[in-house]
Chain A
């Protein structure tokens, strides 16, 4: 027996994908022309799947801050936050995040994945129960596992189902931690946080919200879905990432809980990894200030989302959620999805191909994410190139119809 035998099924599925075209899991941007265009397979390509919501990755001030930090503090910290990896920059960023979010304290992690891992593994323990929305990101699933807590899933965006499951659990003396996302990454739908807050209060549970895809994107000040729905004070813990709206890498957790900072010496994903490099931290610090000073970025993002949403729904695509910066199109099956994804790439449009089990309800998706930096002309071109995809879907439907006759 070979150690990789266990991957035979998934390897076989990957081989099938390669027969159709490019490897969707090995796309390489050979060069970046801007935050919205790059070179893929030698071709100039419009990028509509990068989660670069604010389009801030090439911002001159952020770049300058990163360059200055590298010159002043060096290329890396070579250590974890609890040893030699805490610089003034890390503390300044934590203060800036806490101030922006209106929270007592914020903790910076080295990636967004680790932020969820560190928050959940730190907050919940073996005697606690985590109630997790079924569409949660893998980082939340992994954080749950690392916590050692009992984990009960509830139906996606369904406060009544959460209520039922909390009631069924009864009281075993452990704490209940409800975990949801603001905007869900794959479909782009939003959590009904106000209703979840009612349920969590009724049961005396704690509420954690991952605002990875909503920071900068939604809410009057860009603080996320909790701000938009007016329930920030009822959300006990928030987490988010620096690798989307803030254009770098890293993540954060924040809370008003007076004992929150105990995670700094109890949360393993915080303690046992090198801290974010000075250039990353400096660019995030600047990006956050830019984002606060320029709310018009958010307006541009939503204008762009509206343009793409209207264009794609006009072409007849089935869109999985109400209009927003994540626009996921449901494809009839995996082969059609892969074929359509390849056609778009060959025509200079990069979107995300999302397949089960990475998607809810076994859906095969072409997932687009907008940026404030997209131009109206770029979006028009994207819509035009999506036109060719409708023909592939029509062919597939015809084949199915014929097979059924």
Chain B
């Protein structure tokens, strides 16, 4: 799993070629709304489990929603190390690019 990304990652030239990857952060944020009933402010560093209380099964359900939103597949064995929102966004971006 890649380390936490930075804002600069979004401006990476390769990603500008791919609008889906460019929007990954916003799209993931939108999908997270349902998992954030207490409206905690979310940043890239927000921890899915300890901050948002998303358990292992809910996290996999979220992955299914992301797969459908981006029309990609994200094998769950690729996301076992995902902890933060940014980790998740990084996986989405890499899968979008690989698709």
Listed in ascending order, the chain A residues whose CB lies under 8 Å from chain B are: 9, 129, 134, 144-145, 149-155, 165, 168-169, 356-357, 360, 362
Q: How far is the CB of A337 from chain B (nearest CB, A)?
A: 16
Asked whether A150 lies within 8 Å of B64 as measured between CB atoms, the reply is no
Q: Does B72 contact A (CB under 8 A)?
A: yes
Contacts of A134 in B (CB 8 A): 60-61, 64
Decide: A153 and B64 in contact? CB cutoff 8 A. yes
Distance in angstroms between the alpha carbons of A153 and B60 in the assembled complex:
8
Q: Is the beta-carbon distance between A362 and B64 smaller than 8 angstroms?
A: no
Contact of B64 among A145, A155, A357 (CB under 8 A): A155
- Is the beta-carbon distance between B77 and A151 smaller than 8 angstroms? yes
Partner of A362, one of B58, B60, B71, B72: B58
Cβ B73 vs Cβ A165 within 8 A: yes
Interface membership of B8, Cβ < 8 A = no
> Do the beta carbons of B64 and A168 come within 8 Å of each other?
no
Known: A9-B50, A134-B60, A134-B61. A152 touches B55 (CB 8 A): no
A-B pairs with lowest CB-CB distance, top 5: A150-B75, A357-B57, A357-B55, A151-B76, A151-B77
Q: Which of B17-57 contact A (CB under 8 A)?
A: 49-50, 55-57
Docked pose: A362 CA to B61 CA in angstroms: 11
Once the chains bind, are A152 and B75 in contact (CB under 8 Å)?
Answer: yes
The answer to whether B63 has its CB under 8 Å from any CB of chain A is: yes
A257 to chain B, nearest CB (A): 25
CB pair B58 A357 closer than 8 Å = yes
- Asked if A356 and B60 make an inter-chain contact with CB atoms under 8 angstroms apart, the answer reads no
Is A144 touching B77 in the complex (CB atoms < 8 A)? yes
CB distance from A113 to the nearest CB of B (A): 18
How many residues of chain B get a CB closer than 8 Å to chain A's CBs? 19
18 A-B pairs with CB atoms under 8 Å apart are A9-B50, A129-B75, A134-B61, A145-B77, A150-B77, A150-B78, A151-B76, A152-B75, A153-B60, A153-B64, A155-B64, A165-B67, A168-B67, A168-B71, A356-B57, A357-B55, A357-B56, A357-B57
User: In whole Å, how far is B63's beta carbon from the nearest beta carbon of chain A?
Assistant: 7
Per-residue CB contact flags for chain B residues 65-81 toward chain A (1 = under 8 Å, else 0) read 00100011111111000
Complex Cα distance A170/B38, Å?
39
CB atoms of B55 and A153 under 8 A apart? no
Q: Residue on A with the closest CB to B68? A: A164
Given contacts A9-B50, A134-B64, A153-B63, are A168 and B72 in contact (CB under 8 A)? yes
Closest CB in chain B relative to A127 CB, distance in Å: 12
Cα A170 to Cα B74 in complex, Å, equals: 13
A9 to B52, CA, bound (A): 13
Tell me the bound Cα distance from A153 to B72 in angstroms. 12
Nearest Cβ on chain B to A17's Cβ, whole angstroms = 16
Complex alpha-carbon distance, A150 and B79, angstroms: 11
Contacts beyond the supplied A153-B60, A168-B67, A362-B58: 16 A-B pairs with Cβ under 8 Å = A134-B61, A144-B77, A150-B75, A150-B78, A151-B76, A151-B77, A152-B67, A152-B73, A152-B74, A153-B63, A165-B67, A169-B73, A356-B57, A357-B57, A357-B58, A362-B57
In the bound complex, residues from chain A placing their C-beta under 8 Å from that of B74 are: 152
Q: Are A168's CB and B73's CB within 8 A?
A: yes
Note all chain A residues with C-beta closer than 8 A to B76.
Answer: 151-153
CB-CB under 8 A from B78, the residues of chain A are 150
Bound CA span A129–B78, Å: 13
A153 to B67, CA, bound (A): 10
Closest beta carbon of chain B to A3's beta carbon, Å: 18
**Chain A residues with Cβ under 8 A from B49's Cβ?**
9
The residue that A151 contacts in the complex, of B58, B64, B75, with Cβ under 8 A, is B75
